Structure 1
Amino acid sequence: MTIREFDCIVIGTGPGGEGAAMKLAKAGRQVAVVEAHNAVGGGCTHWGTIPSKALRHSIQTLADYRRNPLFQHTRNQIEVDFPDLLRAADGVINEQVRTRYRYYQRNRVEVVFGRARFLAPDRIAVERPGGAAQELTARHFVVATGSRPYHPPDVDFSHPRVRDSDSILALAHTPRSLTIYGAGVIGCEYASIMSYLDIKVNLVNTRDRLLSNLDDEITDALSYHLRQSGVVIRNDETADRVEATDDGVVLHCKSGKKFKTEVLLWANGRTGNTRDMGLEAIGLTPNRRGQLEVNASYQTALPHIYAVGDVVGPPALASASYDQGRFVGAHIVDGECDWSLIEEFPTGIYTVPEISSIGRSERELTAAQVPYEVAEADFKSLARAQITGHTVGMLKILFHRETLAILGIHCFGEQAAEIVHIGQAIMSQQGSANSIRYFTETTFNYPTMAEAYRVAALNGLNRLF
């Protein structure tokens, strides 16, 4: 068997793997990427970010149509099933795959399909579905294999009524009722999506409030709007067992509560994709969550093997994973990296309405005894929001009372994930350039949603005395 040689082999073609491969290829390195799926893009493209956000967009379009007074006479005549929404998402997924594959071709990165397994610290075997295998060797490796939904051993995921965030995308009908166990980002997004299809949704949360890492006022608003759309939220619950039958699924909680619905979506936890990769044989042992431990340069215990993205744990965001991959690519090329990843990065949660945040929350600032003030703008007062009908939401800026430096930005409402980047740009400036006064001294297009920054800044400065 001929063993093919490369400068670097990247295992996984999600955002982290792509970022590393592109950086290395641009530097003239001979690179191969190994993908276990039959198409490039990783879980982000096929089961995670892209399909769920495409579903969310379709739901928002449907909601806008039903709300628009121009279509009042026909709004109740349109019925949309869950499979219809999935077909709409397929077009986006296919286009993303074509785009990503062109990137690899254009940069002369070889794509090898199959499952990678380490035979030695410098050599892997790529096993193809038909049983054939080939061996590849390289000086450096990047493990970017992502993660998968966590499956407790006592839950039967082979039952057609028990789904995880991957298999929910294969649902061939619109269920009348759904229980979602786990109220993290995935759970909240799917609760929002399903409720707009007139599905009765139970959202069972293992914590005392939704998305407890975010600003309390924002998550209170999310809870309110989920309940307004018919979602039943139960906090501080722990699953005891799952009883799946022919006519439904019963989630038994340790509190004694029972939730019986047509389908159960288990959305509690994820596991790194490190199983059967031969890592232990070369001295790399994943932790109990299947994740690899890395240093500040994303090197594992074997310095020539790097790991990025979900497989190394938080923040487990596609945006951050891509940057990690680029960082690692630069580190491999130069032996060091003269730039560092930002510590403050935005989070986007694509519920209806969506949420985005960057920086610290009121709870964190209070605990740290930082003297801060709050600047707020309600979307209902913005002309652009009134024109589009998206009046639900708010922009909240937290700033230092004395220096006026921006400490945190929290947004709830339509286009929140876009709006947050304006504040992020100013928040990242050094010294006096990071000031809430920037927004009062800058002219914004009118009418726009970005105008919320001027409204909020004036509101905040008026609070000072």
Structure 2
Amino acid sequence: MSKHYDVLVIGTGPAGQKGAIQAAKLGRKVGIIEKSPVVGGVQVNTGTIPSKALREAVVTLTGADKRNLLGASYRAKKDVTIADLASFSQQIIRHEWELIGSQFERNHVELIWGHARFVGPNEIEVLTKDGPERVTADSFLVAVGTRPARPDHIPFNPHNILTSDELLHLDRIPRTMIVVGGGVIGSEYACIMATLGVRVTLVEGRHQVLGFLDQEIAGTFQYFMRQKGITLRLGEKVESIAEIDAETDISGRPNSGPAKLVQAQLESGKTLRAEVLLYAVGRQGVCGELGLDKVGIEFDDRERLHVNEHYQTNVPHVYAAGDVIGFPALASTSMEQGRRAVCHACGVCDTRDYNTKLFPFGIYAVPEISMLGKTEEQLTDEGIPYEAGIAHYREIARAKLLGDELGMMKLLIHQETHELLGIHIIGAEATELIHVGQAVMALGGKVEFFIDNVFNFPTLAECYKVAAYNGLNKLNHV
């Protein structure tokens, strides 16, 4: 006889974790299925946590964040090895595994290891190492995430033509790297590797990296990237990628480097060569292996599911949350989606007025970037009158103490009502700093809040006060 659950979750990433724990807190019998040998999904094992751990390791070990303070030649560790970076990352990842496992145990969430596949509207077959098992449930949460896109025409291999999953397992730090894709993943890894001293070339089909950013912030970021030695090939598309024998360089002279290189041919006729190529263009869903046709659930050409405002698919008792439903595909939003989905499935609909559109973006490049609300370009297109208040980190004592004098904050202020319309930050602690403004925006506050209230000194939060004065001074013509 198959085991029955009130709520059955597929995937232990951020959406699945929080959904399962929420259901358990509501007194439901909960099971969660994981096909990988470890919990945490992409967030813990190949995406959010490993890439951020790698970033922190690189910044800390190279001393890159202290050079403005201690001198351009400052190095915390002279020779950073791949072993140094792996050790740092693995400590964090192991901690997350233990934390998630203990949360499941404390809340009596039953963890089932294996591949899940629907065999009926309320029944799933789990292919475990001991053979298939059948389980049933009243409600389901599909939180299977995504994987890096791997187009068939690209000759991926585990050594030098990689996605972000394989990059974390490099056995050496390469001297040169090509990054294809100027989105979040490509930009973050380009900056991390350049901070290590790798000579990076980034190829992006659009004329701006991180196209969703406010253009001033994106322009500033591109300046920082070039200062790190990153070559930006913007408005360029890759025609072909191949691994080649490297007996000679592009000009035909004998090559003293590695025996194999990666060659990327651009549509413009340029030829790029490097030791390693990272392909970071898009992600792909994994819904095709779930047997959703048995339930009558369809997915799009990238294997993403469509849901309503309650995170229900077209089959009401099957919910979906996280990257599998597409935008915004952030660990932070995935957690909240999973929690809300399960609340609805359990008939516990919070009366609180959640703002599902007011969430921050965090880009953990070097430097950090974070944004909330509208960009200048969006406000202009929508005909909303605004003024921009700017605070440069060089004006902020705390930024000087942290060794960052190049960052900035921009507040977008409604010209008539003085409401906050957008917040854009680049520089140290940007992803932390954004939440001060988020609280003010969420509560309908106006820019005067930052002037009328006292901030600790010295702090980076003082940027809000400086930017508020700057914006209001412009509006008052003083």
TM-score range, shorter chain: over 0.9
Please state how far the C-alpha of 1:427 moved relative to its aligned partner: 0.7
- Shift of residue 286, structure 1, vs aligned partner: 1.7
Paired AA for residue 194 in structure 1: M
Partner of 2:301: 288
Contact 2:264 2:271 in 1 (8 A): yes
Does the Cα contact within 8 Å between 1:83 and 1:171 map onto a contact in 2? no
- Structure 2: 5+ residue runs without aligned partners? 246-259
Tell me by how many angstroms 1:83 deviates. Answer: 3.9
Maintained 8 Å contact 1:202/1:232 = yes
**Larger CA deviation: 274-283 vs 368-377:** 274-283
Q: What residue is the counterpart of 1:257 in the other structure?
A: 270
8 Å Cα contact 1:353/1:392 also seen in 2 = no
For 1:445, the aligned partner's letter is: N
TM-score (norm 2): 0.93
AA of the residue aligned to 1:117 = R
Query: 1:65 touches 1:75 (CA, 8 Å); kept in 2?
Result: no
Distance 2:449 2:74 in 1: 46
Offset of residue 72 of structure 1: 8.3
Alignment pair present for 1:202 and 2:213: no
Which residue of the partner structure matches residue 252 of structure 2?
Answer: none
Deviation at 1:412, TM superposition (A): 0.4
Shift of 1:159: 5.2
Is 2:90 aligned against 1:90?
A: yes
- Determine the C-alpha separation between the residues in 1 that align with 2:368 and 2:76: 25
* Sequence identity percentage: 41
Q: Residues 407-441 of structure 1, C-alpha deviation per residue, up to 9 Å, x if partnerless? A: 000000000000010001001113xxx11000001
Bigger mean CA deviation after superposition, 187-196 or 233-242:
233-242
1:293-348 CA deviation, whole Å, 9 max, x = no partner? Answer: 11121111111101100001010000000000110111011174534452110000
Residues 335 and 439 (structure 1), Cα distance of their counterparts in 2 relative to 1, 3 Å cut: closer
1:237–1:255 CA contact under 8 A, matched in 2? yes
Question: SS at the partner of 1:326?
Answer: helix
The secondary structure found in structure 2 opposite 1:275 is helix
C-alpha distance in 1, partners of 2:201/2:216?
Answer: 22
Q: TM-score, normalised by structure 1?
A: 0.96
Would you say the 8 A contact 2:181–2:203 is kept in 1?
yes
Residue equivalent to 1:373: 387
Q: Counterpart of 2:373 in structure 1: which amino acid?
A: G
| Aligned-residue offset at 1:276 | 1.5
After superposition, the C-alpha distances for 1:12-40 in whole angstroms (9 at most, x for unaligned) are 01110011111111110000000111121
Q: In the TM superposition, what whole-angstrom CA distance separates every residue of 1:333-373 from its partner, at most 9, and x where no partner exists?
A: 11745344521100000011100000000001111111100
For the residue of structure 1 that corresponds to 2:5, the secondary structure is strand
Match of 1:310 in 2: 323
Q: 1:236, CA displacement in angstroms?
A: 1.5
- Measured after TM superposition, the shift of residue 60 of structure 1 is 2.0
Would you identify which runs of 4 or more consecutive aligned residues in structure 1 move more than 4 Å? 68-74
Change (3 A) 1:182 1:68: closer
Tell me the residue number matched to 2:165. Answer: 166
Q: 1:90 to 1:285 in 2, by over 3 A?
A: same
**Structure 2 residue matching 1:462: 3-state secondary structure:** helix
For the residues of structure 1 that align with 2:196 and 2:184, how far apart are their CA atoms?
19
Number of equivalences: 460
Deviation at 1:158, TM superposition (A): 2.9
**Cα deviation, residue 390, structure 1:** 1.6
What residue in structure 1 maps to residue 338 of structure 2? 325
Equivalent-residue separation in structure 1 for 2:308 and 2:343 (angstroms): 15
1:280 deviates by 2.2
Cα 1:345–1:207 shift into 2, 3 Å:
same
For residues 100-249 of structure 1, the aligned pairs below 5 Å read: 100-128=100-128, 130=129, 132-158=131-157, 160-246=159-245, 247-249=260-262
Query: How far apart, in 1, do the equivalents of 2:373 and 2:181 lie?
Result: 25
Mapped partners of 2:407, 2:355: distance in 1: 31
Q: Is the 8 A contact 2:262 2:276 kept in 1?
A: yes
Q: Quick one: distance in 2 between partners of 1:321 and 1:356?
A: 18
Q: Is the 8 A contact 1:409 1:420 kept in 2?
A: yes
Q: Secondary structure at the match of 2:171?
A: coil
Deviation string for 1:146-193 (max 9, x for gaps)? Answer: 000001011122352110011111111011110000000000000000
Contact 2:312/2:318, CA 8 A, preserved across alignment: yes
- Taking a change above 3 Å as real, the CA distance of residues 207 and 126 of structure 1, as seen in their structure-2 partners, is same
The answer as to whether partners of 1:159 and 1:244 remain within 8 angstroms in 2 is no
Quote how far apart the aligned CAs of 1:238 are. 1.9
CA distance in 1, matches of 2:76, 2:158: 34
1:342 maps onto 2:356 in alignment: yes
By how many angstroms is 1:76 displaced? Answer: 8.3
Residue in structure 2 matched with residue 450 of structure 1 by the alignment: 461
Using a 3 Å threshold, how does the CA distance of structure 1 residues 68 and 408 change in structure 2: closer, same or farther?
closer
The CA RMSD over aligned residues, in Å, is: 1.7
Measured at CA, do residues 264 and 276 of structure 1 come closer, stay the same or move farther in structure 2, by a change above 3 Å?
same
Change (3 A) 1:116 1:464: same
Could you tell which deviates more after superposition, 385-394 or 318-327?
Answer: 385-394
Aligned to 1:438: 449
C-alpha distance in 2, partners of 1:74/1:396?
A: 30
Task: Give the distance between the partners of 1:239 and 1:454, measured in 2 at CA.
Answer: 45
Question: What displacement does 1:70 show?
Answer: 6.0
CA distance in 2, matches of 1:454, 1:436: 9
Cα distance, 1:239 vs. partner?
Answer: 2.0
Provide closer, same or farther for how the CA distance between residues 123 and 418 of structure 1 changes in structure 2, counting only shifts above 3 A.
Answer: same
Equivalent residue number for residue 273 of structure 1: 286
**Which residue number in structure 1 is paired with residue 431 of structure 2?**
417
Q: Is 1:401 equivalent to 2:412 in the alignment?
A: no
Q: Which amino acid aligns with 2:331?
A: A
Distance 1:314 1:387 in 2: 37
Contact 1:81/1:197, CA 8 A, preserved across alignment: no
Q: Which moved more, 1:400-409 or 1:130-139?
A: 130-139
The structure-2 alpha-carbon separation of the partners of 1:76 and 1:450, relative to structure 1 and needing over 3 Å to count, comes to closer
Superposed, which structure 2 residues align to 1:351-366 within 5 Å? 351-366=365-380
